[in-house]
Chain A
C-alpha cells in the first residue's frame, strides 16, 4: 500500500521527523517499508509565461517560464497539452531523474535544434508519479512558482501491512498507529465509529439481504449530482499515491477508501431496476465487470443485484453497466461489510483483485460503515452537489464489535521475561486506543486482531520493543537424538569423501519423468515414484526416488562447461510410494566418478581413466570392513552390482553400483565411462560397528606362499574370495590377489583362461610355524582350490 507523507500530515504532525526516522518508526511498528519514493532536488513548480513555435522544428515549442527566480527561463518543450498560464513541474539543471531500470539521468543546460533550453518540463511519468502520461503534469493553479516539487508531492512510502493488521490499510489507520507509537495527538477523529445521520431499516423492495456472506449493507441515495472533474487537491492526493483521477464521484470513493480503509461503491440509480438484492450468484451467471471483462460466476459467489441482474461482485468489483458516467445525476452510495473468507474465495477463483477486495479479504471494521458513508456523502454534496436522502438505508446489523479482553499483567511479564511495570503495560495499551473498564480491556472496533490475552501481550512487546528487554538464555542439556547421530555420521562421511577428492553436490529434489529412467532403484524395489499434482512444469514433476539422476545432470553440466574429470557425491532425502500409496522417505548417499583418475600434469601426462575398481575403493574408504560387489542382473547399469557388507547369509545390502550405460551417458554429453553408486544411509549406519574393541597384535611372524592359478576367463574373483572367506583352516590369515593376467592373443595363456595370483598368509597365534606345518596347510588349500574351481597351478 502506498502512503503519502503529506496525507499522513492531515492526521498527525510529523514535520520534525526526517524520512529515515519515519522509516524506523514504521519498521518498529511492524509495518515493513518496502520502498520510499521521493522527488529529487532541483525540481520546482513553474508557470508557463509564453509559448512560441520552434523556428526549426514542427513538433517543438519554445516557452518562457517563471521558475520563481524573478527572471524568465527558456525551455524547449515537445508537449502540447498545456496552456499559457498553467503551472507545471520543471526540472532545473542538476536535477537527477529516474530513467527506469535502475538508471538515472541528469538535466543539463543545452540546445534543442539550435535553441537554448535551460531545463525540462516534466510529465507525471517522468516523475514516477504515474505509469504513463499524456503530456505535462498540470499542477494546481494555487501553487506558487518556485515551490520545490518535493513539497507538492512529499515522500510516498510503499508499505507491506501484515495480514493481522487490516486496520492499517488506510492513511488514517497508519497515522493512528504512528501517533500512538510517537506519542503524538491525532489532529482529527481516530475512527468513524459515530454518525449523525439517522438510519432507517430498509424495506424489502429497497435493500434485501439474502446471503450470510453480507451481514450488513447500507445505501444512501443522493439525487441531482453533477459528475465532473475533481478539484486539484483531490486529484493531487490520488496521483500522489499512484491512483489515476477519473471523475469526482469515483475519485471520492477511492479517496475515502485510502483515507478510512472502507471500500465504497457508487451505482447510477437510473441504471438500477428495482431495489438492491444481496444474493448468491446463480451457477453459470455471467457478469461484465468494470475492467470490461466477463466473469462466469458460481453459486458460492456473492453478487449485488437489482431486481433483474447482478450489478456488482460483492466486495470485489462493480459492473460496467451500472457505474457512474458523465450523464449520471442520481446515485446510490453503497457501504457494506462482507465476509472476508467469501471475498477471498471469489477473488482468488476469478483471479480478480481490487483495492476493495484486498481490504474486505483482510477484514474491515463493520462499526465504521455508517460513519464512512456519512463522510463520503458529505464530500459528494460538497464536490458534486445534489441532495442526499435524510436517512441512511440499513439492512442487517454491524454487530457489537470486539469483546473485551482481560490481561493478567503477570502473564504478560512471564511471556516477555522482563519486569515491565503495570503502568508501562497499561500505558502502552491505552495509547493504542484500548480502554480499561472493570477487569478487562475494551478493544477499539477497528482492532479485529485483539481477541486473546496473548494478542495484548504482543502489543506490549511490539510497542515496548526488544531493546528494553534483557537477553537471557536458559541453556538446558539435551540428550543426543537419532537425528544427531545421523547428522554426525553423515558429517564424517562428507569429510572423508572430500578428502578422497569428491565435491559435494546438492540437486533439486524435483526431477522430470524422463530422469526417472536414471534411478538405480536402490532401496525400493516394487515401489513407485511420487508425482506432484500441481508441478510448475514437466521438468520438475516428480520427487526424486534416488540421487543418481540429479548427479548425472550435474556431471553433464560440468562436462559441457569443460570439467571432465569428476568426482561428485550427494547426500539427502529420496521419496517413493508403496503399492498402497504410502509415501516413504529414505536418506541416501550417491557417488559419481568419471574421467581421469587424476588431472593430467607433468607428473603423469597420460593419467589412467577411472574404472569401477576406483569407485569400489572410494566406497571401501567410507564403509566398514567387508565390502563386496555382488553382480546382479539389472537393466539400468552395466556391471550392475549389489553393494554388500559381509558375505553369505550375514551380508547386508546397502546399495547399488555400476556403470551408466554408455548410450545414456552420451545423451548427456558424458563421453568417458561414468561410474555411479547409491547407498541407503540408514542401512550403512546399521552395519557400522557400534563398539570398537582392541585385538591383540600377532606375537609371532607368519609365513606366506604365493600361488598363481589358471582359471576359466569368466570366473569372478569374488567367487574365489568367497572360497577363501569360507575355507576352514585356522592357520589361514589372508589371501590377497596380487596379479590378474589375461592374454587375448593366446600366446602365453589360452584366450578363454585367466591367471589369478594370490599371496596367502599363514600364522598361528601361539608360536612360529614350522615349514612343514605351513606346507601341510598350503597343500590342503591347493587341493581344495583344485577340486572347487578345477584350476591349474602355474
Chain B
C-alpha cells in the first residue's frame, strides 16, 4: 500500500510537471484527487489495511495528498501569474495618453488671484462698484477739477444721460466710503475704460486693482510698508523698487512705484507699476458732505490709496509683449498659462 502511494505521488508530480494550461490542470486534479481519482481510490482502500498499519498508511496518505495538492496550487498560481502577465504584455506604456480635455484660467485671473491672496493675508477685504458711474463718483468726489482733460469726451466714454464708463477703479473708494465707516480696508479689482484706440500697449477696457485704507492714524509709512510687502511677495524678496513723487488729484502726497525689470540680454530698467498716495483731505470732505456726517472728518481720519494695472502686471510677470493677446482668447495663448 505504501509503495502504491509512492507510485501515485511520483505519477502525480510528473503529470503536474507536464501541465500547460488551466484545462490540463483540471484534468490532472480530477485524475488524482477527483471522485474517481487514483488517490481517492487508494484512500478508499484504507478499510482493507490491517489495523497495525493504519496509522502509517494514513499518515503516508496525508503526506501524498498534501504533496499533490501543494504542487497543484503552485502550478495554478504560476498559470494565473503567467495569464495576468500575458493580459498586459501588449501594453506600450510609452504611448501618448488617452486625452482628456485640458482647460485653464486666463492669465489676468491668475495675476489677480496672486494679488488678492497676498492682500487678503494683509487684512484687506474685497469691494466692488458699478462700471457705469456718475461723474460725481468718478471725478468730482475724487477732487478732479471740472475742466480736467480726463473728463473730455475724447478721453472718456459717456452715455446720453451724462453717466460714464469709469476711467479708474478709484470710484470704488468713494462707493465704499459712502456705505461704510472707518476703519475701511478694501481692495477692488475691476474693469476701467478709456477712449483709446486698441494697440499693443492700449486697450479701451483694462483691469485695475484699487486699494484703500482709512482709519484714525494711517500714515505714509504704512503705505510704504504695505506696498513693499506686496511687491516682494509678488515679484520676490529681492525686488528693487522706488517711490517716485508724482501727482494725482485725489491723493497728496502722491507717488508712483517703479520696479526694476531685468530681462536677459537687455539693460535693466525701471517700470512704472502702481500709483499711490495719502487720500487728499478734499476727498474726505466731499464724502462727508455727501454722507452728511463726520465719519470722514479730515481732521480725524487719514488714509492711503493705491492702484495698479493688472494687464501691465500680467505683461511683466509672463513677458507678454502685446496687450491685444489678452482679449483675443486664442487657445494657443491661453493654454500657456495652465501653470
Contact = CB atoms under 8 A, between A and B. Distances in A.
Interface of A: 27-30, 32, 162-165, 341, 344-345, 348, 414-418, 452, 454-455, 457-458, 461-462, 465-466, 469-481, 483-484, 486-487, 491, 494-495, 497-510, 530-536, 540, 543, 554, 557-558, 561, 563, 565-568, 572-573, 575, 581, 583, 585, 597-599, 601-604
A502 B101 CA distance: 8
B233 interface: no
A573 B131 contact: yes
A77 to B, nearest CB: 36
A459 B229 CA distance: 25
Interface string B265-302: 00000000000001011000000000000000000001
B65 to A, nearest CB: 41
Nearest to A555: B329
Interface string B179-221: 0000101101001010111000001110000000101011111
A511 B93 CA distance: 49
Contacts of A498: 103-105, 338
B259 interface: no
Contact of B185 (A348, A462, A476, A501): A476
A469 B253 CA distance: 14
B106 interface: yes
A454 to B, nearest CB: 5
B330 A557 contact: yes
18 contacts: A29-B245, A32-B244, A417-B221, A418-B220, A454-B252, A470-B225, A471-B225, A472-B222, A476-B215, A481-B186, A483-B188, A503-B331, A504-B104, A505-B106, A506-B108, A534-B153, A563-B332, A567-B103
A481 B335 contact: no
A159 B280 CA distance: 26
A465 B220 CA distance: 11
B5 to A, nearest CB: 50
A12 to B, nearest CB: 20
Nearest to A603: B98
Contact of B195 (A505, A534, A602, A603): A534
B116 interface: yes
Interface string B150-173: 001100011111010100000000
B331 A162 contact: no
A286 B226 CA distance: 57
Give the 10 A-B residue pairs with the shortest CB-CB distance, closest first. A417-B219, A501-B101, A417-B221, A30-B245, A162-B247, A471-B225, A554-B329, A505-B329, A483-B126, A458-B253
A495 B102 CA distance: 12
Contacts of A474: 213, 215, 217-218, 222
Contact of A466 (B96, B105, B197, B255): B255
Given A30-B247, A533-B158, A575-B132, A509 B125 contact: no
B122 A475 contact: yes
A462 B253 contact: yes
B99 A457 contact: no
Nearest to A550: B329
Contacts of B51: none
B157 A532 contact: yes
A497 B103 contact: yes
A126 to B, nearest CB: 26
B278 A500 contact: no
Contact of B147 (A344, A565, A602): A344
Contact of B224 (A469, A508, A575, A598): A469
A567 B101 contact: yes
A492 to B, nearest CB: 12
B41 to A, nearest CB: 46
A469 B125 CA distance: 27
B109 interface: yes
B257 to A, nearest CB: 10
A503 B104 contact: yes
Contacts of B321: none
B264 interface: no
B278 A481 contact: no
B159 A532 contact: yes
Given A415-B278, A558-B330, 13 more contacts: A344-B147, A418-B221, A475-B122, A476-B215, A481-B125, A481-B186, A491-B113, A498-B103, A504-B334, A505-B106, A506-B108, A534-B157, A554-B329
B236 interface: no
Contacts of B221: 416-418, 469-472
Given A469-B224, A475-B122, A534 B158 contact: yes
Contacts of B86: none
Q: Which of A462, A504, A558 is most buried by chain B, counting CB atoms within 10 A of its CB?
A: A504
B188 to A, nearest CB: 8
B159 A533 contact: yes
Contacts of B204: 508, 510, 536, 540
A474 B122 CA distance: 9
B8 interface: no
A598 B330 contact: no
Given A469-B224, A473-B226, A601-B96, A506 B215 contact: no
Given A532-B158, A533-B158, A536-B204, A478 B124 contact: yes
B331 A472 contact: no
A15 B205 CA distance: 46
A601 to B, nearest CB: 5
Nearest to A607: B99
B100 A598 contact: yes
A161 to B, nearest CB: 9
Contacts of A602: 95-96
B254 interface: yes
B102 A501 contact: yes
Contacts of A494: 105, 109
B302 to A, nearest CB: 6
A28 B163 CA distance: 37
A478 B328 contact: no
B103 A585 contact: no
Given A476-B215, A558-B331, A575 B131 contact: yes
A162 B222 contact: no
Contact of B331 (A480, A534, A563): A563
Q: Which of A476, A478, A533, A554 is most buried by chain B, counting CB atoms within 10 A of its CB?
A: A478
Contacts of A462: 245, 253
Nearest to A30: B245
Contacts of B191: 509, 572-573
B247 A466 contact: no
Contacts of A501: 100-103
B246 A162 contact: yes
A20 to B, nearest CB: 12
Contacts of B205: 508-510
A416 B103 contact: no
B112 to A, nearest CB: 9
Contacts of B185: 476, 478
Given A417-B220, A417-B222, A567-B101, A557 B123 contact: no
A585 B334 contact: no
A494 B246 CA distance: 38
A224 to B, nearest CB: 43
B135 interface: no
B109 A461 contact: no
Contacts of B220: 415-418, 461, 466, 469
Interface string B23-51: 00000000000000000000000000000
A472 B226 CA distance: 7
A558 B332 CA distance: 9
Contacts of A566: 331
A599 B196 CA distance: 39
A117 B330 CA distance: 54
Given A414-B217, A473-B229, A563-B332, A601 B103 contact: no
Contacts of B165: 532, 543
A311 to B, nearest CB: 26
Nearest to B197: A536
Contact of A481 (B126, B195, B222, B229): B126
Contacts of A573: 131, 191
